[in-house]
Amino acid sequence: MVSLAAPLWLLGLLGLPALWWLHRFSGANRAIVVSALFLWPPGFRGDSAARKSRRPDPRWRLRALLVATILMALAGPELKTSTARTVDVWIDDSLSMQTVEHGETRLQTAFGDLDRALSETGIAEIQLHSLRNPAVQVAWRRDKDTNSRENWPKLMGLPPGRLHPPIVVLMNRDHEHWLISDGADVDVNAWAEKAPLRRILQTGTISDNVALTLLSVRPTMDGDTSRGLTTVRNLGGNLETRTLSVYSGDKLQFQKSLRLPPHGRSNVHFELSLPDAKHHLRAILTPADALAEDDALSLEKYASSPASVSVAADCPTPLKIALGTHPGILIAAARQAHTDMRVVCDDTSGIDGGEPTLRIHAQRVPRPLRFPPVWAKDEQQIDWPLLQPQWLYSDSTPRRPGANKPLFGTAENPLITVSIEKPRAIDVFFDMAQPVLIRQPEYAVLIDGLLSVALGRRLFDETFSAQRSVAESYIAPHPMPEAGNDTRTSSSLRTRVDLTPLMVLMAALLLVVDIRRTRYTRRGVPAQAGA
Amino acid sequence: MSTRVLNHPLDAVGESELARLVRVANPLLAGRPLLSAGQLRHKRHAGQGYEFLEHRDYVVGDDMRFLDWRASARSRHPQIRRFCDEQTTDWRICLDRSASMTVAEDHKWNLAVQLTAALGYLLLHLGHRVSVLGFSDHCTTLLPPGRGRQQYARLARALRDSTPQRRGGDSDLLQCLSRATPRHGVIVISDFLSPRAMQPVLRRMVSAGCGLQLIHILDEADFGDPPTNDTVELMDVESLEQTTLTTTREVILGTRAAWYALRAELARFCSAHGISYTACEVGEHWTTGALRYIKSLRVEHG
């Protein structure tokens, strides 16, 4: 079907009679001028009456067609295909859409509504888009695809996460946009107010939900027990009663009944004895509610075992003693093949294994530092001790960090460097057996920090936690905006083919033909060369 | 002050080409008078006068006896002294300015202007006095009589300033008859597109004792090239008379035959009355037409 973008231009067609009139009465321009009429045989010598009765120049038809073509081009003709109506369906696949109502999730209900809406409107092809990742889309054709609506959620196949609605101005204006949502997500509602949505399919009525939003475990300093914390939120408007159970593997470690006021929260502390690094920790709320996905949280690991560290025999005794007393590591036996880390105390030892290495370089002529050293920022944000320059004895020979990153030192020389690549290799360029240093309490903190940087984890006070955003657990449907942002008519949404270039081309061809005919009539002779 | 017109036909008429034309004309004419014996009286050979006329550059064929050594030393080019030729006469060049010369993109007019300039240069080189008259439905003096090198500059300027009539008017050579005095040469450059090809007025000019020479500008566009088998309206560019006819093959062939017949009739008339006749067709270079004119003089006189 052909439509016009600016049909008012067609009013110019009313001027075509004037064109005919000009061709009828402009006899002087129409006649072929000859040098000598007496050479021609006598014909019908025209008088005024004959001039009135003569027909217009036949070229008026060609020129009228030319003018009509130009007017059509200005009117912007467009060819619209009714079979190419495409609907982009944006799916709110947030966690709240997994809420079970009447035996099926909100997402399944919404897909049922979508199927019925497609049947009513006769739309044969849609594109399913996930709001978690708008770039992912699944095409579906009624006549070709055998996928039933139960398979549509599987087609999306995206892990849970935050929603990323598309930028409104980048949405395809030639397509029709629909939205499937429960209205529980504030961001989606805000986006829906601006997006050119033609239809919104909203599902869901339940608003009460209790969610477990935090599970955190922190081993105590003695290492025998761990303290835990859970946060339970009532996101509905009614008083709720739940039972919180904490399991280590299959073993129940803690259980407590909770009364949760409307929109209230409860922080539950518990203590775990004999933390087991082999089992995962799981917290569950019972009985399950409409959104069961947020009634449990689990930790794959909630306790860490001591790291095995091999210490070279030539290391200074104060260092060996300090390492041996660290509660987070175990000094490996000399014959042990695999360790988590090794400590070497000579310049020639390379990093040959796959484990992190702490390399203490021997200082031949150690002298106290003249300037106070400073710490650089590290990834683990360790609270490094303040080491006084008079405690640190080092060779005055300038050294370059090379490919390693300086961690501690002065402006002249780095005293501790860390390799950028893993496994981490830490080089220490000051005397770790200096008596004034080993007597300081900062000595143990320094060694713990070096071990933590090398191993990539805290050896003291490590916290294991799992949490969920509270916004994900809100399932109360909010009123959705009216789907009136798309003011286009159904016909205007069809695929358009602009016919203007075709009209311009046709007009150009007609113009060329008219020019050639005009030159021919005027007996055009090629320009005289050289004259 | 006149403004130089760009792309004027005279742009194609260069001094070097004119000089070459003169070099060719010198041996061809070989001192022969430009007018037939019996019509004008020539006292002596060309260039044998005593009154100094001008200096000009030496060209091949000039008599070394007239070489002016002082003038050559001053100008660093060989200079020839020229004298008023006692055999010279006055020449009128009658240039057709009627509207028929402008049909089909002014090709006829352009060639006529170029030939006027070339013949004027040649005549002035031979020491003649030259004037130019333009005629359509009236006669206009485009260039008063004069001779010498400056006269050619005036001639070129006059030709650049003159324009043909675009519509209406007539080709009435009779208007120039009063200005053509006996014993003067008259060169008519025209397409002679009038019934009987201006023969009555030509006859009167011959009777008046004018040394008449015709240069016929021919253009096949004169009989038109309308679309075949179409009802067209034709308009005469001069009389503005219109007629409507169907351009059948017979009509077009008949028109072409009439055009050729007109040309042949004019040629016969000139032959019968001892008039030099040269036909120049649009499309050929002006030097070709000028040489054909010079050759026609040589054949006629030699």
Task: Give the alpha-carbon dihedral of B2, B7, B10, B16, to 10 degrees.
Answer: 120
CA distance to partner chain B, nearest, from residue A18 (Å): 22
Q: What is the token pair recorded at A30?
A: 């129409």
At which residue do the structure tokens 């006070």 appear?
A461
C-alpha A511/C-alpha A206 separation (Å) is: 70
Question: Model's pTM, two decimal places?
Answer: 0.45
CB B184 within 8 A of CB B117: no
Chain B, 273-302: which have a CB under 8 Å from a chain A CB? 282-283, 285-286
Q: Does A43 touch chain B (CB under 8 A)?
A: yes
| Sequence-separated (6 or more) residues with CB below 8 Å from residue A255 | A243, A244, A245, A246
- Best to test chain B binding among A33, A47, A55 (most B CBs inside 10 Å): A33
Q: What is the pLDDT of residue B208?
A: 79
Show pLDDT as tens, one digit a residue, over chain A (531 residues).
Answer: 678 888 899 999 998 888 888 887 654 445 788 888 888 877 655 444 444 455 677 788 889 999 999 999 999 888 766 555 678 888 888 888 889 988 888 888 888 888 888 888 877 778 888 888 777 777 777 666 655 555 666 656 656 667 888 888 888 877 888 898 988 888 888 888 888 888 888 888 888 999 999 999 888 777 678 889 999 999 988 899 999 999 988 888 899 999 999 999 999 999 887 666 677 889 999 998 888 888 999 988 777 778 889 998 889 999 999 998 888 888 887 667 788 898 988 766 555 667 889 999 888 888 888 888 999 887 767 888 888 888 999 887 767 666 788 889 887 788 999 888 877 889 999 999 999 999 998 999 999 999 988 888 888 777 888 988 888 888 888 888 776 566 665 555 555 678 888 999 999 999 998 888 777 655 433 333 332
C-alpha A504/C-alpha A81 separation (Å) is: 22
CB B277 within 8 A of CB B292: no
- Taking only the tens place, the pLDDT of each residue in B79-136 is 988 776 555 578 889 999 999 888 878 889 999 999 999 999 988 888 788 999 999 8
Burial of A11 (0-12, 13-18, 19+ CB in 10 A): exposed
Beta-bridge partners for A281: A248, A299
Task: Give the alpha-carbon dihedral of B23, B27, B31, B36, to 10 degrees.
Answer: -100
Candidates A523, A525, A521; CA nearest to A57 is A521
CA distance to partner chain B, nearest, from residue A31 (Å): 5
Q: Does B107 touch chain A (CB under 8 A)?
A: yes
C-alpha A297/C-alpha A35 separation (Å) is: 105
Say yes or no for a CB contact (<8 Å) between A43 and B222: no
CB B208 within 8 A of CB B182: yes
Give me the residue from B219, B242, B282 closest to A31, CB to CB.
B242
Say yes or no for a CB contact (<8 Å) between B105 and A54: no
Q: What is the pLDDT of residue A169?
A: 83
Residue-wise burial string across A469-493, b where 16 or more C-beta atoms lie within 10 A, e elsewhere: eeebbbbbbbebbebeebeeeeeeb
Q: What is the token pair recorded at A137?
A: 């889309």
Candidates B18, B11, B95; CA nearest to B294 is B18
Candidates A480, A495, A485; CA nearest to A177 is A485
φ, ψ of residue A21 to 5 degrees: the values are -65, -40
Q: What is the token pair recorded at B262?
A: 């007109």
Residue B69 parent element (H or E): helix B69-75
Q: Does B251 touch chain A (CB under 8 A)?
A: yes
- Best to test chain A binding among B234, B239, B259, B266 (most A CBs inside 10 Å): B234
Q: What angle do CA A287, A290, A294 make, to 5 degrees?
A: 75
Candidates B155, B189, B160; CA nearest to B10 is B160
Give me the residue from A39, A523, A531 closest to B255, CB to CB.
A39
CB B194 within 8 A of CB B22: no
Split at pLDDT 50, 70, 90, the class of B39 is: very low
Once rounded to an integer, what is the mean pLDDT over residues B215-221?
A: 88
Residues of A in contact with B283 (CB under 8 A): 528
CA distance to partner chain A, nearest, from residue B262 (Å): 9
| Three-state secondary-structure class, residue A265 | strand
C-alpha A118/C-alpha B178 separation (Å) is: 101
CB A268 within 8 A of CB A258: yes
> How many C-beta atoms lie closer than 10 Å to residue B140's C-beta?
14
- Best to test chain A binding among B243, B248, B280 (most A CBs inside 10 Å): B243
Residue A200 parent element (H or E): strand A199-202
Give me the residue from B9, B226, B243 closest to A45, CB to CB.
B243
CA distance to partner chain A, nearest, from residue B141 (Å): 24
Residues of A in contact with B251 (CB under 8 A): 40-41
Q: What is the token pair recorded at A112?
A: 């049922």
C-alpha B237/C-alpha B101 separation (Å) is: 9
Q: What is the DSSP letter of B239?
A: T
CA distance to partner chain B, nearest, from residue A60 (Å): 15
CB A73 within 8 A of CB A503: yes
Beta-bridge partners for B232: B245
Task: Kindly report whether the peptide bond that precedes residue A423 is cis, defined as omega within 30 degrees of 0.
Answer: yes
Beta strands in chain B (DSSP E): 52-57, 79-83, 90-96, 129-135, 139-146, 185-190, 211-218, 231-236, 242-246, 276-281
C-alpha B275/C-alpha B196 separation (Å) is: 16
Give me the residue from A39, A50, A528 closest to B258, CB to CB.
A39
| Three-state secondary-structure class, residue A421 | coil
Q: Does A518 touch chain B (CB under 8 A)?
A: no
CB A41 within 8 A of CB B255: yes
CA distance to partner chain B, nearest, from residue A26 (Å): 12
Q: What is the mean pLDDT of chain B?
A: 81
Q: What is the pLDDT of residue A524?
A: 37
Say yes or no for a CB contact (<8 Å) between A36 and B222: yes
Q: What is the pLDDT of residue A352?
A: 60
Q: What is the DSSP string of A16-44?
A: HHHHHHHHHH-HHHHSEEES-GGGSPP-E
Q: Does A28 touch chain B (CB under 8 A)?
A: yes
Q: What is the pLDDT of residue A48?
A: 43
Q: What is the token pair recorded at A511?
A: 């113009």
CB A233 within 8 A of CB A213: yes
